[in-house]
């Protein structure tokens, strides 16, 4: 029986759980990321939460998988310059947890980890070329080709959210204008609607609130949804043209309202993907739910170390 201690490190919270070999999350705990600004505090807190979750689930930890917002270096186990945890740069949670728990520890970018989990345990099962896209406060993703996680040079994680969609678009955090993320992530949707002359202030706008307003028939919110679907469709069409996948798996907070966007996305993709077999690229919602990142962290361990994880798809 393999019971993996899973660690999900994100900008607002650090979650820890125990995941069995059937992708069931047996127990979970979390703490705010702000509590672990110093690396030594983070290591202690994560190790303690791992011991506590294992005790609560009545299992022994047989391996540890970590998924983290990037940049991270999967094979050295070290953290790069994380915006929200600058003092973790160069530290190896992999080495430190391996020493304390005496088990193998794997680290992956969180979107790559979730892509691996969807490919083997979720909506991407039996698909060997899939692109996982998460749309929330930013846009990220992971690419699986021929059953293997695609890694760039130095095992770098591709940044699909920074493909340029419109050079006259809004300034992005990376310095370019009109990146996919700057046009279609949740905050971009709110910023666009808030800047329209017919918008009357009142509600605090978020992508989720706009979707609620659209469902209630608000005309401006419906335009915001139409615009969002257009830009999502453009970015997805680029990915399908480049990789000709057999599945595109959509996840993230904005995709909780996916039914609002699917028609618009499909229309743009059909216009823009005429020379590739778009009909064979299934557009699906992720199926692992709220805890996909924790389940992904566990899957990263299987992918790295377990025999069954070597090829994620049959």
| Four-CA torsion 180, 186, 188, 190, nearest 10 degrees | 160
| Binding range to Zn ion, per CB under 5 A, among 84-92, 179-187, 208-216, 242-250 | 179-187
**Nearest approach, Cβ of residue 165 and Zn ion (Å):** 10
| Binding range to Zn ion, per CB under 5 A, among 26-34, 175-183, 191-199, 300-308 | 175-183
Tell which positions 196-225 bind Zn ion, by CB under 5 A.
Answer: none
**Nearest approach, Cβ of residue 201 and Zn ion (Å):** 29
- CB-nearer residue toward Zn ion: 106 or 139: 139
**Nearest approach, Cβ of residue 155 and Zn ion (Å):** 21
Give the residue from 111, 44, 77 showing the smallest Cα distance to 299: 111
Question: In whole angstroms, how far apart are CA 149 and each of 128, 132, 142, 306?
Answer: 10, 11, 8, 15
- CB-nearer residue toward Zn ion: 67 or 161: 161
**Which three-class secondary structure string do you get for 124-159?**
CCCCCCEEEEEECCCEEEEEEECCEECCCHHHCCCC
Helix, coil or strand: residue 121? helix
- CB-nearer residue toward Zn ion: 63 or 161: 161
**Nearest approach, Cβ of residue 242 and Zn ion (Å):** 17
Distance of alpha carbon 79 from alpha carbon 68, whole angstroms: 9
Give the residue from 237, 232, 235 showing the smallest Cα distance to 164: 235
**Pattern 106-135, Zn ion, x by CB under 5 A:** ------------------------------
**Nearest approach, Cβ of residue 160 and Zn ion (Å):** 11
- CB-nearer residue toward Zn ion: 47 or 179: 179
**Nearest approach, Cβ of residue 159 and Zn ion (Å):** 8
Helix, coil or strand: residue 302? helix
By CB under 5 A, name the one of 156, 174, 219, 242 that touches Zn ion. Answer: 174
Tokens, residue 244:
């000709």
- CB-nearer residue toward Zn ion: 111 or 298: 111
- CB-nearer residue toward Zn ion: 179 or 236: 179
Q: How many CB atoms lie within 10 A of CB 151?
A: 16
- CB-nearer residue toward Zn ion: 169 or 194: 169
**Nearest approach, Cβ of residue 179 and Zn ion (Å):** 3
Please count the CA atoms within 13 angstroms of the CA of 255 that sit on its side-chain side.
Answer: 22
Tell which positions 149-168 bind Zn ion, by CB under 5 A.
Answer: 162
Query: Interface with Zn ion includes 179 (CB under 5 A)?
Result: yes
Helix, coil or strand: residue 4? strand
- CB-nearer residue toward Zn ion: 58 or 174: 174
- CB-nearer residue toward Zn ion: 124 or 235: 235
Query: Interface with Zn ion includes 172 (CB under 5 A)?
Result: yes
**Pattern 1-30, Zn ion, x by CB under 5 A:** ------------------------------
| Residues 6+ away with beta carbon under 8 Å from 265 | 229, 232, 233, 236, 283
Per DSSP, the chain holds a count of helices (H) and strands (E) of: 9, 12
Tokens, residue 198:
């017919």
Tokens, residue 314:
């049959």
Query: Interface with Zn ion includes 171 (CB under 5 A)?
Result: no
Binding positions for Zn ion, rule: CB under 5 A: 162, 172, 174, 176, 179
């Amino acid at each position: 029986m393999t019971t993996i201690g899973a660690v999900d490190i994100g900008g607002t919270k650090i979650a820890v759980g125990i995941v069995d070999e059937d992708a069931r999350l047996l127990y979970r705990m979390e703490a705010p990321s702000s509590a672990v600004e110093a690396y030594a505090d983070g290591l202690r807190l994560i190790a303690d939460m791992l011991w506590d979750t294992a005790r609560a689930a009545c299992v022994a930890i047989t391996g540890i998988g970590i998924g983290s917002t990037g940049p991270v270096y999967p094979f050295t186990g070290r953290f790069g310059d994380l915006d929200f945890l600058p003092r973790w740069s160069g530290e190896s949670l992999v080495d430190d947890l391996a020493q304390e728990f005496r088990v193998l520890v794997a680290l992956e970018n969180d979107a790559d980890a979730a892509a691996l989990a969807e490919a083997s345990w979720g909506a991407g099962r039996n698909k060997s070329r899939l692109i996982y896209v998460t749309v929330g406060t930013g846009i990220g993703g992971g690419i699986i080709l021929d059953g293997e996680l695609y890694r760039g040079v130095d095992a770098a994680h591709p940044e699909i959210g920074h493909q340029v969609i419109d050079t006259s678009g809004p300034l992005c955090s990376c310095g370019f204008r009109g990146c996919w993320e700057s046009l279609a992530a949740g905050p971009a949707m709110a910023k666009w609607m808030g800047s329209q002359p017919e918008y009357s202030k009142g509600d605090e706008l978020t992508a989720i609130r706009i979707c609620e307003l659209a469902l209630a028939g608000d005309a401006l919110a419906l335009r915001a949804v139409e615009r969002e679907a257009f830009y999502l469709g453009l970015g997805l069409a680029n990915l399908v043209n480049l990789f000709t996948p057999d599945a595109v798996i959509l996840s993230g907070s904005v995709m909780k309202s996916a039914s609002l966007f699917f028609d618009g996305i499909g229309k743009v993709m059909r216009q823009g993907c005429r020379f590739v077999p778009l009909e064979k690229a299934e557009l699906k919602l992720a199926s692992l739910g709220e805890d996909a990142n924790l389940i992904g962290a566990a899957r990263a361990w299987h992918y790295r170390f377990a025999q069954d994880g070597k090829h994620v798809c049959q």
